[in-house]
């Protein structure tokens, strides 16, 4: 994508945020209000992570999908807050499982308050999200987000099972990121259309838009571990490699590697026997087999599918900005 297109994409997401600014503020107010009603420590932990949040992408998707149907009720606000609580809960649990020390450039909650409090705070946020969903009086929206929550946990289990296994199949990898990341994107979009009165075809199209966007989003995250600065990522370069995480670039590199290179992957990822230059050596193997470009090509394919789904919606500024948002996700890796 050229520089002009990149600027257009960034402009699109800013316009989307601007057009939904009052709704986004209402979501923040709802989140803070719910946290303030809990015990102080839970409130502190929740605010620590939520205040460090970046683009609030998932709640933004919920609001944008509802806005296409001119829904100005409180229901999309409640759902968007629920989505953010679900996402934040998964981050709290992720950081405990991964023993992370940084999240978006700040100390993780588990480092500040410990694993026990982080896990319990995550449990509280999950429970709070369901209370918010119930208040929308939409069993369909509740069903969509409840299903996504279950699949997120399944994806976490499966991610642990494929860790340190560069020989993992692409099918298994995409099943993991589909559940762990893409499901919440899809449900965030679908639930917004449900409460706004969109038909079943539009609900399904919204889900597919979000799901494919989520797949692309996760692949770009995989790439950012290898080719971006800590300031942009909010974590240290090479963290996934050091943990032996099985990501798309690793799987593709394993498939193309010769026997000597496969021994390198076994030593560094399966056995976690890493030397100072091993991260650089991994990059060299990626470059040898053009792995970064192959990953980006797959990302572009998912984004193309995502954008096509928006044809089911009215031709509005919101839809145009959702197209721009999808395109901008590719630029995160550059």
User: Is the CB of residue 126 less than 8 Å from the CB of residue 85?
Assistant: yes
Give the predicted TM-score (pTM) of the model: 0.91
Q: Which helix (H) or strand (E) holds 29?
A: helix 21-36
Query: For each successive 10 residues of the chain (334 residues), what is the average pLDDT?
Result: 46 84 93 90 84 80 95 93 93 82 76 87 92 96 96 95 97 98 98 97 98 96 78 65 95 98 98 96 97 96 97 94 89 58
> What's the pLDDT score for residue 2?
41
Q: Does domain 3-331 have CATH number 1.10.600.10?
A: yes
Q: Is 21 left (phi over 0), alpha (psi -120 to 50) or beta?
A: alpha
> What's the pLDDT score for residue 53?
64
Round to whole Å and give the CA distance between 121 and 102.
18
> What's the pLDDT score for residue 332?
64
> What's the pLDDT score for residue 5?
42
Round to whole Å and give the CA distance between 152 and 135.
23
- Using CA atoms, how far residue 122 sits from 14, 62, 108, in Å, is 30, 21, 13
Domain ranges (residues) in the chain: 3-331
**Other residues' Cβ atoms within 10 Å of the Cβ of residue 191:** 34
Burial of 303 (0-12, 13-18, 19+ CB in 10 A): buried
> Two tokens at 268?
């560094």
The HSE-up count of residue 268 (CA atoms within 13 Å, CB side) is: 26
Beta bridge partners of 106: 103
> What's the pLDDT score for residue 87?
92
> What's the pLDDT score for residue 6?
43
């Amino acid at each position: 994508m050229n520089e002009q297109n990149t600027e257009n994409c960034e402009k699109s997401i800013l316009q989307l945020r601007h057009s939904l600014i009052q709704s986004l503020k209402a979501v923040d107010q709802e989140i803070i209000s719910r946290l303030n009603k809990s015990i102080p420590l839970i409130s502190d932990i929740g605010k620590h992570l939520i205040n460090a949040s970046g683009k609030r992408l998932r709640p933004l998707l919920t609001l944008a999908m509802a806005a296409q149907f001119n829904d100005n009720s409180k229901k999309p606000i409640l759902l968007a807050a629920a989505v953010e609580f679900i996402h934040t809960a998964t981050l709290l649990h992720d950081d405990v499982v991964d023993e992370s020390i940084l999240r978006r450039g700040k100390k993780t909650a588990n480092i500040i308050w410990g694993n026990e409090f982080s896990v319990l705070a995550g449990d509280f946020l999950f429970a709070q999200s369901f209370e918010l969903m119930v208040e929308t009086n939409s069993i369909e929206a509740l069903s969509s987000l409840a299903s996504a929550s279950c699949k997120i946990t399944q994806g976490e289990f499966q991610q642990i099972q494929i860790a340190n296994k560069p020989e993992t199949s692409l099918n298994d990898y995409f099943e993991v990121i589909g559940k762990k990341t893409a499901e919440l994107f899809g449900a965030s979009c679908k639930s917004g259309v449900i409460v706004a009165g969109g038909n079943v075809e539009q609900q399904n199209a919204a889900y597919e838009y979000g799901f494919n966007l989520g797949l692309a989003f996760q692949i770009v995250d995989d790439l950012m571990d290898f080719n971006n600065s800590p300031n942009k990522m909010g974590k240290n370069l090479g963290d996934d490699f050091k943990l032996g995480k099985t990501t798309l670039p690793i799987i593709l590199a394993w498939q193309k590697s010769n026997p000597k290179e496969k021994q390198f992957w076994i030593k560094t990822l399966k056995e976690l026997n890493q030397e100072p230059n091993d991260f650089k050596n991994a990059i060299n193997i990626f470059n040898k087999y053009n792995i970064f470009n192959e990953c980006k090509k797959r990302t572009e394919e998912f984004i193309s599918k995502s954008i096509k789904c928006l044809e089911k919606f009215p031709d509005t500024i919101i839809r145009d900005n959702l197209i721009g948002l999808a395109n901008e996700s590719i630029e995160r890796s550059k």
